Amino acid sequence: MAFCLLLYRIMSVVHSIRGCLIEIKVDKQKNQSKSALIGVPLNIFVTETISCLLQAIKKYQFSALNKISQGLLITALTLLAFGLRAYRLDFQSYWIDEALTIFYANLSLDELWYNLQTVRAVPPIYHLLILYWVQLAGDGEYALRFFSLVFSVLAIPLTYRLGHALGDRGVGFCAAFLMAIAPYQVWHAQDARNYSMLTAASIVSMWGFLNMWRRSGRRWWVLYIIGTEWTLMTHYHGLIIIGIQGLFFLLTWRRHWRHYLAWGGALSVVFLPYLAWLIYGSRLWQGVHWLPKVGLWESYLQGALAYSVGELIPRPEGIPLTVIFLIFYALGLLYAIRRRWTPWRGSEMMTLLLIYTLAPNMATWLFSELRTPVYLERYLIPVQVGYLLTIAMGVLALADGVTRMASMCARRSTDRITPTRGASHVSASSNALFVFSMAVISGRTDTMYWLNGAIGSA
């Protein structure tokens, strides 16, 4: 909390200086949508930053770099994510959901505790932290949203760690890169709600889960318990993380049945403080809910659009861009099952990725059919992490394919001078990542162009 406050104070000074130097046309900006947060100057900045990052690793494999160089690259990605999320953080005034955050943030501790249990039964950790954050930083747009920004930025190195535990450093780096520039992650980093915290907490839980049965040491069990508790106490849909983990253990029981008892013991520790909140929430869920009922196929389509290019691009323009992401997603699944992962089997890797990305929609759809609608894309925002991890494997699959083709062509040619496999691999990875990032940035630019055109013609 002290670090977040210090970082906030520094950015407040920078923000104040910028406000003195730049004349803001208030009337015009208030009529523009939040989709114009990423303007043309920022697009140029992002493009140049991405180019520098990719050129820095063009001649070397990421896994071949020393720890200092790897740390610098991850730090650069984290700073890129921070810049994208801090840019025009207070550009828009509060919207209706953020008004609820302000309402709870200005209650006394006793009033907040009572409201969370009776009026709006939600897990308490986000609102409790916001209560004290507002006392330290204030409840302005910049201050309140900065709290969400911190957890969204924290998710970048955590994604790298998760990708490394799942596959290798290359998977972790590609996935962290995609998380840094993902429009949906940027959107919720600039939203004074608990979804960026839910994303970071779910990554910690999955990171601990993958390591606690692969490596010895109590620290992974402690990390898993803390991450899972944090996830559940942030949002009720955090239960999907436990569902993903349990379904994976169930479908791969031949290799992992020995871990059932220990995993169950860890969950018992997690559920002890959570059970009361779960009971309160299950009662209120039975009432009238504002969410519309969404079919299974429609939920997959909405999720793919949101997690690929964001929610603001109209569906006719968003679907072609989303198809690009889905192609890389399919390549990633094929790459996962064909490649040898240590100590994973290819079938286990693909099973986990499929569960991570598909099972939560099926669970919420089934619950909606039996009880009350509970599906919304942002409620399942942890799914985007698994989605981007799979796409990162698809990028590596394309890089490997290009490398093999280049090697075959080199053998057939009379020219004996051929690039090394490492350099060719990273060159292909860089090109694939660059094209991929341009698709994301062009998607945001198309949104801005469409909206500004619509406003201008109104």
Q: Where are the domains of the chain?
A: 39-92+101-457
The pLDDT value recorded for residue 35 is 41
For the whole prediction, is pTM greater than 0.75? yes
Q: Where does residue 138 fall: left (phi above 0), alpha (psi -120 to 50 degrees), or beta otherwise?
A: left
CB 172 within 8 A of CB 143: no
- The pLDDT value given to residue 391: 94
pLDDT along the chain (458 residues), means of 10: 52 49 40 40 49 45 65 90 91 85 88 79 87 88 92 96 90 92 93 95 95 83 94 92 94 85 90 77 58 90 93 87 93 87 78 95 93 90 96 87 73 55 50 54 46 38
Q: Which helix (H) or strand (E) holds 316?
A: helix 315-338
CA dihedral 394, 398, 403, 405 (to 10 degrees): 140
- Answer for the pair 177, 171: CB distance below 8 angstroms, yes or no: no
3-state secondary structure of 65: coil
The residue type of 358 is: L
Provide the 10 A C-beta neighbour count for residue 282: 12
* Distance between CA atoms of residues 175 and 73, nearest Å: 13
CB 147 within 8 A of CB 5: no
> In the structure encoding, which two tokens stand for residue 132, read together?
């004290």
Q: What is the pLDDT of residue 282?
A: 54
What does the pLDDT read at residue 42? Answer: 47
Give the count of beta carbons closer than 10 Å to the beta carbon of residue 184.
23
d(CA 167, CA 346): 11
Peptide bond preceding 316 in cis form (omega within 30 of 0): no
Q: How many CA atoms lie within 13 A of 277 on its CB side?
A: 24
d(CA 324, CA 125): 37
Distance from C-alpha of 452 to C-alpha of 446, rounded to nearest angstrom: 10
d(CA 185, CA 372): 27
Kindly state the helix (H) or strand (E) to which residue 364 belongs, with its residue range.
Answer: helix 346-370
Q: Give the integer Cα–Cα distance in Å for 312 and 318.
A: 9
Q: What is the pLDDT of residue 273?
A: 82
Q: What tokens appear for 158 in the block?
A: 């955590």
CA 91 vs. chain centroid, Å, equals 22
Neighbour tally for 49: CB within 10 Å:
19
Report which of 380, 329, 49 is spatially closest to residue 199, judged by C-alpha positions. 380
